[in-house]
């Protein structure tokens, strides 16, 4: 089913007509009452005409529709789709046409779509509010703040991750007729996409992990490649919600951390790795400095050292350069022998 624009009539003339039908109908009713008192049954016809005019004016009111910018109204007539109103303005449509929006009573925790007086329910890991509201579909760009969820990365470590998704309705007919509730459908697909993508990546860079699917290990990770991960999540969601007439503009990771049960252990692991890397750098620098000192002593012929004295000098210099505390010098005025 393709989306089509409904050619609606201007609403102002029909509003004036429906208002005029009320006094006209009341006039006929009064005239019929007067004729009934004078001529009996003759007054029944004006009364019936007046009642029909009042009912007709009331029915015409149901066909008046106001469309604001970035809003759409999907209309059906006796179960048949007749078109969508998208242009802002005041229109008159068939009074028996019905506006359809299965997600009108659903309010996700997102921008421009929250009613604090609504009833709170759970749907797809997000806080959802239900309330009977307008049948108009918003075409604005909205932000869905997906709640935190615990997912295992490629190494099996549990991580907590949350994303924000910028989206909008692109095809009102698909959004209304292809899925039961496009807002809840989007929420569920966000949860599914996050799980499918996160399980491909390690939290930190790990050797031998292929995150791109090309068969070669790479340095992709959730922490170091957040932009790439977010884009893959966006593409995954877009592929799932295309049939629902939704367009995913952007996805961003708003929260990423190890799960509380392993956070302390992983922090110790990171600290240990950092200490090892720092010590390695210190030792490499210390060895280079000792080598340079010995070369300078030999080059300038300041002192001649045998192998035992060289070993003692190397040991002292390494202790000084690699130690974590200040050393206390000892002056030796005698001989080593």
Q: Which two tokens stand for residue 87?
A: 């242009």
Instruction: Check if the beta carbon of residue 189 is closer than 8 Å to that of residue 235.
Output: no
The domain locations on the chain are 9-99, 139-258, 265-322
Residue 262 has pLDDT above 80, yes or no: no
Q: Which two tokens stand for residue 121?
A: 């329910």
Predicted pLDDT at 166: 93
Would you say the C-alpha torsion 95, 100, 104, 105 has a positive or negative sign? Answer: positive
The CATH architecture of the domain made up of 139-258 is 2-Layer Sandwich (3.30)
Nearest CA to 157 out of 202, 195, 219 is that of: 202
Predicted pLDDT at 265: 66
Predicted pLDDT at 331: 58
Instruction: Check if the beta carbon of residue 296 is closer than 8 Å to that of residue 269.
Output: no
The strand pairing partners of 85, in sequence order, are 73
pLDDT, average across residues 218-230: 86
Predicted pLDDT at 116: 36
pTM of the complete model: 0.69
Residue 32 has pLDDT above 90, yes or no: no
Residue 9 has pLDDT above 80, yes or no: yes
Location of structure tokens 């002292």: 316
Q: For the chain, what is the mean pLDDT?
A: 81
Give the least confident one: 25-29, 60-64, 306-310, 326-330: 326-330
pLDDT, average across residues 193-201: 90
Helix axes 182-198, 226-241, angle to 10 degrees: 140
Residue 310 has pLDDT above 80, yes or no: no
- How far is the CA of 50 from the CAs of 54, 259, 261, in angstroms? 6, 73, 77
Q: Report the distance separating Cα 290 and Cα 281, nearest Å.
A: 14
Residue 274 has pLDDT above 90, yes or no: no
**Residue 329 pLDDT class (50, 70, 90 cuts):** low
Q: Which two tokens stand for residue 292?
A: 């340079």
């Amino acid at each position: 089913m393709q989306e089509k624009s409904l050619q609606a009539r201007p609403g102002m003339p029909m509003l004036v007509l429906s208002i005029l039908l009320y006094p006209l109908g009341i006039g006929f009713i009064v005239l019929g009452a007067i004729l009934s008192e004078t001529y009996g049954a003759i007054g029944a016809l004006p009364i019936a005409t007046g009642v029909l005019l009042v009912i007709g004016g009331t029915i015409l009111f149901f066909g008046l529709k106001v469309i604001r910018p970035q809003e759409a109204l999907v209309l059906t007539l006796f179960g048949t789709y007749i078109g969508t109103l998208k242009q802002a303005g005041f229109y008159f449509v068939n009074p028996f046409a019905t506006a359809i929006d299965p997600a009108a009573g659903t309010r996700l925790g997102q921008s421009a779509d929250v009613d604090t007086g609504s009833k709170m329910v759970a749907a797809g890991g997000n806080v959802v509010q239900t309330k009977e509201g307008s049948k108009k579909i918003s075409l604005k760009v909205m932000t869905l703040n997906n709640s935190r969820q615990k997912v295992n990365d490629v190494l099996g470590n549990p991580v907590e991750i949350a994303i924000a998704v910028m989206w909008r309705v692109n095809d009102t007919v698909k959004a209304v007729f292809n899925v039961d509730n496009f807002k809840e459908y989007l929420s569920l697909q966000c949860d599914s996409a996050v799980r499918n993508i996160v399980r491909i990546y390690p939290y930190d860079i790990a050797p031998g992990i292929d995150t791109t699917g090309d068969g070669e290990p790479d340095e992709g990770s959730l922490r170091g490649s957040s932009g790439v991960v977010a884009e893959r999540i966006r593409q995954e969601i877009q592929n799932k919600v295309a049939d629902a007439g939704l367009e995913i503009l952007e996805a961003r990771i708003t929260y990423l951390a190890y799960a509380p049960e392993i956070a302390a252990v992983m922090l110790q692991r990171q600290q240990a790795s950092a200490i090892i890397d720092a010590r390695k750098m210190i030792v490499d620098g210390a060895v280079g400095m000792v080598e340079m000192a010995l070369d300078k002593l030999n080059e300038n012929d300041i002192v001649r050292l045998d192998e035992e004295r060289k070993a003692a000098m190397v040991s002292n210099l390494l202790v000084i350069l690699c130690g974590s505390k200040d050393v206390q010098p000892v002056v030796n005025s005698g001989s080593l022998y």
